[in-house]
Structure 1
Amino acid sequence: MKKSLFYLVSGFLFIMVILFPSCSEDETRPVFPLSAEIFNSVVGKQVAFTALTHSAVSWEWNFGDGNTSTEQNPVHVYEEGGYYIATLTAKDNAGNTASSEVNLAISLPPYALLTGNHTADGYTGKTWKLTSSHNGAGDYLANADANLSVVSGTPKPLPDGIFSTQFKMGDIYEDEFTFYYDGSYQHDVKEDGASFGGLVFEIASTGGAGIVNMNGKDYGLCIAKYTPESNATFTFAEDENLTVSSVYGAGGQLTFNNVMTIDFPNSTEFVGFRDFQRKVIVNKITNTQMQLVMFMAAGDGETAPVGINTHALVLSFDAIN
């Protein structure tokens, strides 16, 4: 009898274990709330996305360039370089959603390097200032010839801070030039209300009345009063054949082929250096520094015609935001 009872109890316990194991597991198994995070890796214009999610059953991606995907871990190739915001929206069985986004810098083209990340919170354009580190940047004073050869008797590269130490024109290092993704432009001439420019240009346009500093007169340079335009705009060309006036060119002109340019059409605005010609060549540009070729007409009407380019300033600018 006792033996039979033992078997009966043992069998009952066995059945309980078989029938109700999930109750115990459900009580101890953690329940993760719906969540979504993004991991990505970039190679050129190709981005591999990984959805790091809990409790998700579907995934919706918006890559920020008009393309989408419902794969959990898609690979996307952007047709054009630039700044993008990619967004992931994950959904669970109950229809709840969780979202995450990531800012991407994809094979940045020159225009994006010039104007900065317009997708960033609080975007205020990208601001540049004339660098004082001329030696490291390879800056120099050039003739306005086809090779932009070095002006005789001047060093290449220029010594660091030369416009402060030699010319006592340090105010030019303070002026700021801000480019916006939508093509708008701001120019801050700071407390002196003046800007870097060509001496002949200033004499020809104002009779010299606006000049506040002409310590660079031996090189045709000065600082003169200037009021920046409100609502100014700029244009950028990544590949242009630029024809400029030049005392070294046949018929008084030279063409620089396949160059990047910045221009301020129908405007008195300029970047860096004010002279008869406002369109400049972007010699090179990175995320932190660009070097411009800014032409100068230093002719006095006797040795060279006024308004025809004789020289160029090959100077670099540092990004400050």
Structure 2
Amino acid sequence: MTKKNLILLYGILFSLTLFLTSCSSDDDGASANFPLTADIFNSVNGKKVAFQGLTNSATSWMWDFGDGNTSTEKNPVHVYTEGGYYTAKLTATSDDGSSVSKEVKLAIDLTPYILLTGGPTATNGKTWRLASGHSDMDYFAYADADLTPFDGAPNPLPAGIFGVGLGLGEVYEDEFTFYFDGSYSHDVKDDGASFSGLVYQFLTTGGAGIVNPSSDQSFGLCTGAYTPESDATFTYVENEDLTVSSVFGGDGTMTYSGVSTLDFSGTEFIGFMDFQRKVIIQDIKDNSMRLVMFMAAEPSAPGINTNGLVLTFETVN
């Protein structure tokens, strides 16, 4: 072997030795060479999650999957029984008893119902309020088959219109909380009133229930006194044909086919208090949902819907 080849061979052997030394892992007992660290990699497929513990100098691993189940495997696979939001935690421990932890937040199989309620781990439910910023899909409508935009009203609704435009800014403060078990709560805040229709208030209370008649009554809106019910519940239906009263229907009704709906026990409602309390969910995401709420605004057709309010709600953090 030539001198040149011999030098090259020594160089390769030296580099290989350095490489093998530097590649010590949790399993070879080289805990003295690296500080104890932990990180998490995960991949989600439906309700199944494959976890990988990325650790240095650990000799044991404890996983808490956030649903009451645990594992001591380094790289476990876990199947959640319910979709929802979970926080998985890995605690890695070394030979000397020291430990380090890492958490990862997971969104598992988010159905519309879980988006609405926060899922089984949301012990305080999920709270919504009318979004003061509105969206480019918010507008006043007629209660016809196409929810045609109402003549003379801005479309889309500008941000803060109920406050700056109508003097009803308090309607952005009321909160509506949905719980995974189907219970429901409603906070009307300090004014003790909710967003409502003027015609509804006159027909049901003779006007005595009106708290704020609005600075511009041309849209028929106000706030009305309301005491939320205790032990209220809600019902979510993902797909149904909803029939409501309507002055635009030949038989006094209008049917909206294949819609998602929310309905409530007793006198409860979300967002807008009027004769029709069952509402349509047009769209729902993690932090926003858009609803269609109906209003009976014609005194000559008492209790029959004339209009719709297409409005966006946002989550309360």
TM-score of the two chains, using structure 2 as the length reference: 0.76
Query: Cα–Cα, structure 1 residues 250 and 66, in superposed 2: closer, same or farther, change >3 Å?
Result: farther
Q: 1:37 to 1:174 in 2, by over 3 A?
A: same
Match of 1:82 in 2: 84
Per-residue displacement from partner, 1:144-201 (whole Å, max 9, x unpaired)?
0111110111121011111112211111111111112222222111111111111111
TM-score by length of 1: 0.75
2:111 is equivalent to residue 115 of structure 1? no
Which amino acid letter does the alignment assign opposite residue 148 of structure 1? L
1:39 aligns with 2:40: yes
| Distance across 2 between alignment mates of 1:61 and 1:219 | 57
Question: Which secondary structure does the structure 2 equivalent of 1:237 belong to?
Answer: strand
Is 1:319 matched up with 2:293? no
* Aligned equivalent of 2:292: 293
1:5 is matched with: none
1:263 aligned partner, one-letter code: D
1:263-310 CA distances to partner (integer Å, 9 max, x unpaired)?
Answer: 103x11111000001111111111111111000111212xxx211111
Q: Are the aligned partners of 1:276 and 1:296 in contact in 2 as well (CA < 8 Å)? A: yes
Gaps of 5+ in 2: 1-28
In the other structure, the counterpart of 1:240 is: 240
Q: What is the distance in 1 between the residues matched to 2:43 and 2:182? A: 28
Give a deviation string over 1:207-239, Cα, whole Å, max 9, x none: 111112222532221111111112211111222
1:85 and 1:119 in contact (8 A); partners too:
no
Which consecutive residues of structure 1, in runs of 5 or more, have no partner in the other structure? 1-27
Whole-Å separation in 1 of the counterparts to 2:147 and 2:43: 38
Going from structure 1 to structure 2, the CA distance change for 1:258 and 1:71 (only over 3 Å counts) comes to farther
Equivalent residue pairs, number: 285
Give the alignment's Cα RMSD to 1 decimal: 3.4
Give identity over the alignment, percent: 57
Q: How does 1:73-222 map to 2 (within 5 A)?
A: 73-75=75-77, 81-84=83-86, 103-116=105-118, 118-119=120-121, 123-134=123-134, 136-215=135-214, 216-222=216-222
Alignment partner, residue 256 of structure 2: 256
Compared with structure 1, are the counterparts of its residues 37 and 310 closer, same or farther at alpha carbon in structure 2 (3 Å cutoff)? same
Whole-angstrom distance in 2 between the partners of 1:227 and 1:78: 39
Alignment of 1:17-36 (within 5 A): 30=31
* Change over 3 Å in CA distance of 1:187–1:275 after alignment to 2: same
Distance 2:316 2:285 in 1: 13
| 8 A contact 1:291–1:315 mirrored in 2 | yes
Is contact 1:38–1:49 with CA below 8 Å preserved after alignment? no
Query: Which structure has the greater CA radius of gyration?
Result: 1
**77-86 or 181-190, which deviates more:** 77-86
1:127 Cα deviation (Å)?
Answer: 1.6
